Structure 1
Amino acid sequence: MVSLFIFLLLSLPIGVAIGLSVLIGIWTGNISYAFIIQKLFTSLDNFPILAVPFFIMAGEIMMKGGMAQRLLDLSRCLVGHITGGLAQVTVLTSMFFGALSGSAPATTAAVGGIMIPSMKKEGYDLPFATSVSTAAGCVGVMIPPSVPLIIYGTTAGVSVGSLFIAGIIPGIFVGLVLMLTSYILAKRKGYTGAGQCFDIKKLPQALLKSIHALLVPVIILGGIYGGIFTPTEAGAVAVVYALFMEGLIVRSLSLKICWDILRKTALTTASIFLVVATATALGQIFLFHNVPDLMVEFLIGISENKYVVILIIIVFLLVMGTFMDALANILILTPLLLPVVKHFGMDPIHFGIVMIVTISMGFITPPVGVNLFVGCGISKISIERLSFAMLPFLIAMLIALLFLIFIPYLSLALL
């Protein structure tokens, strides 16, 4: 663990940092190299994890094909007239797009790339416009399909399909909290809506243009919930559907775009799988040294109160999220923390949703908040200015997280 923190402070790529710490753990712990190599292989020889490249590719197709713009037009029709209209449009579009991409940075890039310049043009100050898009991008990993939910499911040994269903209400709830925060801030800053009342006559046309995008989560979740296909098969269905709609119906794809999609999918999948393999091996070293049981004893020694221990875990996850990648946090910490929450009677699916929401805040906190860098890259403002502008949204997400912790029904209602 000491070597891992040192490698992270040296800004090594997360997969490389974990891999080097695994080698040090093998060397100092007198563990068989063959055992670890076997774990590196078997961590990826896993049917559910095959869903990751499928959903990444589906998200890339839909992002390159322009679905974000059509979803934006629908959101503008629905909420553009509200106070801080473009901010509301940004959050709602991110919720829609999150149901397609399953990635926080991709959601921030796709929606923010369109909305930040539009908000600046309409007179919104740049830090506020960027903070809205950056915070809203976090919803991309909460609303299914979600790559972190897939990784948690395979690590914790729980149903990915159940996690997808459980993530619907919490994702929408956090999105609504962000919309309320945007409304309050816009009211204080004097940002109005589009200046027009809601026009129900425009809604059918906006729905028609975006219907094939809106059908993606319906097909995926409906197929999983109806027992028609597994989450992995749902990923393959999403890719075929996206290629059919964007390539043959909308005709927004070219050979060059298809090559870019394949290249980006391969690079993203490779970086994720490197983290998966090395973090799984690190987890095996923890098991070898009986760390999970020691963690249970340590936290029980602090308090026997379920909620006190869970709040300690949440603070720990928030701190870890500030300097370590979300997937690495899930892979390394799930085997350590899951026995603790099980001891206190917390449902593994409920804990999974709480963990994903908590870790998603790492996307908007320095020094390694990926969404912050994406937002700064679009708006060209400093990370210090953006981090300060993010504070109201971070506080709002913490309040939403407390609701999700103390009201398990929000996560388990659809199961």
Structure 2
Amino acid sequence: MSILLVCLILFLLVIGVPVGFALWLSGLAFVLATGATSLTQVAQSIYSSLDSFVLLAVPFFILAGNIMLRSGFAKHLFAFMQSLVGGVPGGASIGATGASAIFGAMTGSSVASAAALGRTMIPTMEALGYPRRYTAGLMAAGGTLGILIPPSVAMVIFAELSQQSVKSLFLAGVVPGLISATAIGIVAFTIAFRHGYGTRTEAFSPHAVWQTFVKAGPALGMPAIVLGGIYLGYTTPTEAAALSVVYGLFIGMFVYRSIGISDLPQIFLDSARGTGSILFILSGALFIGMLATLVGIPQSIVELITAYNLSPIGFLLLANVMLIALGCFLDGFTLLTVVAPLLLPTVAALGIHPIHFAIVLVLNIEIAAVTPPIGLNLFVITGISGTSMKDVAIGVAPFVAALVAVLLLLTFTPYLSLLLL
């Protein structure tokens, strides 16, 4: 029966049925065909799982991300980072990476980060002598930092699926996020230096740094307020998410004045659509997870791993290979909500720390966002940059290699993920 359920899901995904509908249609067909449980029990179980204070953070973070997308935060952040390193040939690539990391700490979303930063940085860096293919690849890779550097929507979802602390997951993402940003920055600067990109520079100016810092200051305050409130114990993650919405609206409407009352309906509508899509997929994933448990899929995986006597590291390496392969054809959110719950019992059986597994999983989701043919960031940057998907995929390839190297580093060194816990 378990093979029937898996094959049905894969068939619907392959023929192009949207993920949420594929999960629900597969689950309902399976229940009606096998009588594994009752539809009443399904409704009660899904409702109780989604009736969660933690999950309230998701719509707030999505709304905050859309507000910042419209408010011009990215433009001011890049200008500030550019003033710090723009005097160095190739330095704008470091500035772009730094802006990606900071913006990722505001939005919690890979796609939102790539979209906001790409619109600002691609034309600006092209004017400074950086080829569009290179900049498009850098922006696609930089956008992935939004789902690792806290706050992160992906980590909120994982917390609900695994019953882990959101605060602990956010803390665990800090060091790996900085390592990933450093790796992307080093690769970006190395390529730019070797090929002579960005030779048109302006001399370093303390005055320019101060001017751009003053303009970027309100944007820089966002992660400080949100994450500071969580880590210092003043707010829960959900309360911090709501605070980020209020702060973002205030800055966008009264400081930068880039958002007006007339913009709010569209911002709220886009956020509602994004939230509805995520929660619909999550509900389908919870449904499939319940059925998978009933038919013994997690137990079968545990028995298979036990039979081959895999070590914790061996299992994580095998999981990485599987997740990277699946990430070429499934989006990261599907990996998070469908595949991860099936692996969690094995993680527990092998004594792997669930927080360490979460970081490894999120890094795989990062890689999935920039690997063709389904990488969402590739589609976003292709539309923004006006280049072809092939050019973006070629441009992002060195950064994918950097992310894989970081994945291996963090797989073998759980200490880096658990350092701040």
TM-score tier, shorter chain, comes to over 0.9
**Correspondent of 1:223 among 214, 221, 229:** 229
The answer on whether the counterparts of 1:276 and 1:331 sit within 8 Å (CA) in structure 2 is yes
Match of 2:3 in 1: none
Q: Which moved more, 1:253-262 or 1:301-310?
A: 301-310
The answer on whether the counterparts of 1:112 and 1:375 sit within 8 Å (CA) in structure 2 is yes
Q: Secondary structure at the match of 2:383?
A: helix
Matching residue of 2:281:
275
1:144 equivalent in alignment to 2:145 = no
Counterpart check, 1:13 vs 2:18: yes
Cα separation, 1, equivalents of 2:239 and 2:216:
24
> Counterpart in 2 of 1:364?
370
Which residue, 22, 29, 32 being the options, matches 1:24? 29
Residue matched to 1:339: 345
| Pick aligned residue for 1:98 from 100, 104, 110 | 104
Q: Which residue of 2 aligns with 1:290?
A: 296
Q: Residue type matched to 2:23 in 1?
A: I
Q: In 2 relative to 1, CA 62–395 (structure 1 residues): closer, same or farther, beyond 3 Å? A: same
Deviations 1:365-390 (Å, cap 9, x if unpaired)?
12211100011101222212322222
2:391 alignment partner, one of 378, 385, 393: 385
Mapped partners of 2:102, 2:313: distance in 1: 33
Deviation at 1:250, TM superposition (A): 3.1
**1:259 pairs with one of 245, 265, 268:** 265
TM-score (norm. length: structure 1):
0.96
Unaligned runs of 5+ in 2: 1-5
2:317 counterpart of 1:321: no
Q: How many percent identity over aligned positions?
A: 37
Aligned residues of 1:99 and 1:145 also touching (Cα < 8 A): yes
| Residue deviations 1:177-220 (CA, integer Å, cap 9, x gap) | 00001011112221145534443443333222111211111111
Give the equivalent residue in structure 1 for 2:75.
Answer: 69
How far 1:253 sits from its partner (Å)?
Answer: 1.5
C-alpha distance after superposition, 1:319-363 (max 9, x if no partner): 222222222211222222122222222211111111101111111
Superposed CA deviations along residues 38-91 of structure 1, whole A, max 9, x for unmatched, are 233223211100100001111111221111111111110122233422322221
Query: What is the RMSD computed on CA atoms of the aligned residues?
Result: 1.5
Letter in 2 for 1:339: P
Q: Per-residue deviation at 1:264?
A: 0.8
Structure 1 residue matching 2:23: 3-state secondary structure: helix
| Structure-2 separation of matches of 1:343 and 1:200 | 56
Q: Which residue of 2 aligns with 1:38?
A: 44
Contact between 2:84 and 2:209, CA under 8 Å: does it hold in 1?
A: yes
- Give, in whole Å, the separation in 2 of the partners of 1:5 and 1:217: 39
* Aligned partners of 2:100 and 2:113 also within 8 Å: yes
Equivalent pair of 2:105/2:149 in contact (CA under 8 Å) = yes
- 1:80 equivalent in alignment to 2:86: yes
The letter for the 1-side match of 2:30 is G
User: Counterpart of 2:87 in 1: which secondary structure?
Assistant: coil
CA distance in 2, matches of 1:28, 1:81: 67
Structure 1 letter corresponding to 2:395: A
C-alpha separation in 1, matches of 2:120 and 2:382: 14
Structure 2: distance between partners of 1:9 and 1:179: 36
1:180 corresponds to:
186
Question: SS where residue 151 of structure 2 aligns?
Answer: coil
Aligned CA distance change for structure 1 residues 357 and 328 (closer, same or farther; 3 Å): same
* 3-state SS, counterpart of residue 390 of structure 1: helix
Comparing 210-219 with 121-130, which one deviates more in the overlay?
121-130
Is residue 248 of structure 1 aligned with residue 254 of structure 2?
yes
Deviates most, 298-307 or 178-187: 298-307
TM-aligned CA deviation for residue 223 of structure 1: 1.1
Structure 2 vs 1, CA of residues 197 and 249 (structure 1 numbering), >3 Å: closer, same or farther? closer
Distance in 2 of aligned mates of 1:303 and 1:196: 59
Question: CA separation in 2, counterparts of 1:184 and 1:33?
Answer: 57
After TM superposition, give the deviation of residue 241 of structure 1 in Å. 1.3
Q: Which amino acid aligns with 2:306?
A: I
1:135: which partner in 2?
141
- Write the letter of the residue equivalent to 1:15: G
Q: Which of 4, 13, 21 in structure 1 is aligned with 2:9?
A: 4
SS of structure 1 residue aligned to 2:300: helix
Q: Is the 8 A contact 1:127 1:386 kept in 2?
A: yes
Matched letter for residue 125 of structure 2 = M
Per the alignment, residue 120 of structure 1 pairs with 126
Question: Alignment length, in residue pairs?
Answer: 415
Task: Call closer, same or farther: CA 1:365–1:327 in 2, change over 3 Å.
Answer: same
CA distance in 2, matches of 1:292, 1:6: 21
- Residue 56 of structure 2 corresponds to residue 50 of structure 1: yes
Change (3 A) 1:24 1:64: same
SS in 1 for 2:150: coil
Could you tell me how far 1:258 is from its partner in structure 2? 1.1
Partner of 1:237: 243
Equivalent pair of 2:129/2:200 in contact (CA under 8 Å): no
Partner of 1:411: 417
Contact 2:131 2:197 (C-alpha < 8 Å) held by counterparts: no
TM-score by length of 2: 0.95
The whole-number CA distance in structure 1 between the counterparts of 2:399 and 2:70 is 28
Q: In the superposition, relative to structure 1, how do residues 102 and 36 fare at CA in structure 2: closer, same or farther (>3 Å)?
A: same
Alignment match, 1:304? 310
